[in-house]
Amino acid sequence: METQAGFLPRPSADLLAQLEHIYQDLHANPELSMQEHRTAAIAAAWLRQQGYEVTEGVGGTGVVGVLRNGDGPVVLLRADMDALPIQESTGLPYASDKTGTDRFGQATSIAHSCGHDMHVAWLMGVACILAENRPAWRGTVMAVFQPGEETGQGARAMIEDGMVKRFPRPDVTLGQHVMPLSAGQIGWRTGTILSAGDSWEVTMFGRGAHGSMPQKSIDPVVMAASAVMRLQTVVSREVAMTEAAVVTVGTLRAGMSENVIPDRALLRLNVRTFKTEVRTRVLAAVKRILEAEAQASGAPKPPEFSVLSEFPLTRNDEAATRKVVAALEQHFGADRVSEISPATASEDFGLFGTAWNTPSVFWMIGGIDPVRYEEAVKAGKVDELPANHAPDFAPVIDPTLRTGIEAMLTAASAWLCRGGTGAV
């Protein structure tokens, strides 16, 4: 392996080739949230092979590997494992054709359209290099392969399963995510880097009737459609232009036949915010509008609301982030490490740092082919590039795989290697 000055070795060509094969296998065999049995088994077997103390089934399908290497800092490294209920359209030779049953009991296609398969490959690479180069560092590494990030269940489930008491308290928790930036580039910021996220399921009630007799009905389709349109005014008319929020209705389902007016409609919606007061205001407005539409339609009863997920703000500790950034700039050069704006995506990664009351740092790794990205920049079409959760999103393997391994390894080295105190 090629050695970095003052840091752990870079991944070898042989390791990268092995991990590329594993990544393609994971991509072709995605698993939905809290169903990641195959992926977890692969991660656990890999860690055992490297000499880690491995605990499986943490919070369901979570895997924790601990590698103790003398006195020193404890560093938690996290990768999420789950895929999405999406039909892939990348056309890749290793594209997924898998299907399954989602958390609502519905049949669905499954795809790694968020990049968590790349995250798993990154952490496997880092775990291997750390295990093979113990003379170069001191401390304890905790490799966490987390289930259920997409639904906001996984980190909570691991914590509720006694993770804080069962494993060493980390001095820092580190995580990263592939994003639609130019591959090989790294994005960071201190403070808030990702928004809070709230998802609700709402049932609106009407009165069913024959399609030819609308006067006998209270049509929940019209009710729901009106509500969806009115919800678009929450951000444009109830949130100040200096603030930020997103309200998205991702599911609207009602009826089974074109000539039957159903008796209910189901909506699933998502809200993203960066401030507690904005979150409170937006959620209250969403509830008010849905209830008012039901009342205006003469609904037999008010809508029913249930919470699908809650994601906290992802906030980076300033001192720990500066320490990571300094290491990344030393390794990659300042031209590849850039400060970015907060993103309206959401994560449950921060719950680990909160549970242990320890600093967290989360950063972004580009996954779009650099030539394609540059062409999009010149054409003013960056927003048209495939992004996370799109059916045609998949990062280019080279240099994304190498960059992610080196970035996480370099960040961990800032605590674990000689010259680093482990203090923030």
Domain coordinates in residue numbering, the chain: 13-195+313-416, 196-310
Give the residue from 253, 161, 155 showing the smallest Cα distance to 203.
253
Strands 107-109 and 99-101: antiparallel
Architecture label for domain 13-195+313-416: 3-Layer(aba) Sandwich (3.40)
Is 389 annotated to bind a ligand? Reply is: yes
pLDDT given at position 423: 35
Helices (H) and strands (E) in the chain, counts: 11, 18
The pLDDT tens digits along the chain (424 residues) read 444 434 588 999 999 999 999 999 999 999 999 999 999 999 999 999 999 999 999 999 999 999 999 999 999 999 999 999 999 999 999 999 999 999 999 999 999 999 999 999 999 999 999 999 999 999 999 999 999 999 999 999 999 999 999 999 999 999 999 999 999 999 999 999 999 999 999 999 999 999 999 999 999 999 999 999 999 999 999 999 999 999 999 999 999 999 999 999 999 999 999 999 999 999 999 999 999 999 999 999 999 999 999 999 999 999 999 999 999 999 999 999 999 999 999 999 999 999 999 999 999 999 999 999 999 999 999 999 999 999 999 999 999 999 999 999 999 999 999 654 333 3
Is 177 annotated to bind a ligand? Reply is: yes
pTM: 0.93
SS3 category, 337: strand
Contacts of residue 229, defined as CB under 8 A and 6 or more positions apart, other chains included, come to none
Architecture label for domain 196-310: 2-Layer Sandwich (3.30)
pLDDT given at position 421: 38
pLDDT given at position 6: 44
Contacts of residue 366, defined as CB under 8 A and 6 or more positions apart, other chains included, come to 178, 179, 180, 181, 182, 183, 184, 185, 186, 187, 373, 400, 403
> Element (H or E) spanning 284, and its range?
helix 276-296
Percent of the chain that is helix, strand, coil (3-state, to 5): 40, 25, 35
SS3 category, 312: coil
Contacts of residue 3, defined as CB under 8 A and 6 or more positions apart, other chains included, come to 9, 10
Integer CA distances (angstroms), 120 to 129, 199, 289, 326, 331, in order = 14, 26, 41, 25, 22
Decide if 346 contacts 197 (C-beta within 8 A). Answer: yes
Q: Rounded to whole angstroms, how far apart are CA atoms 34 and 30?
A: 12
SS3 category, 342: coil
Q: Rounded to whole angstroms, how far apart are CA atoms 260 and 131?
A: 63
Q: Rounded to whole angstroms, how far apart are CA atoms 63 and 55?
A: 6
- According to DSSP, the residues that pair with 311 across neighbouring strands are 197
Q: For the chain, how long is the longest CA-to-CA vector?
A: 79
The two domains 13-195+313-416 and 196-310 share their CATH topology (first three levels equal): no
> Element (H or E) spanning 107, and its range?
strand 107-109
Integer CA distances (angstroms), 139 to 18, 71, 171, 209, 363, in order = 27, 5, 10, 68, 23
Decide if 132 contacts 67 (C-beta within 8 A). Answer: no
Number of other CB atoms surrounding residue 212 within 10 Å: 9
Is 116 annotated to bind a ligand? Reply is: yes
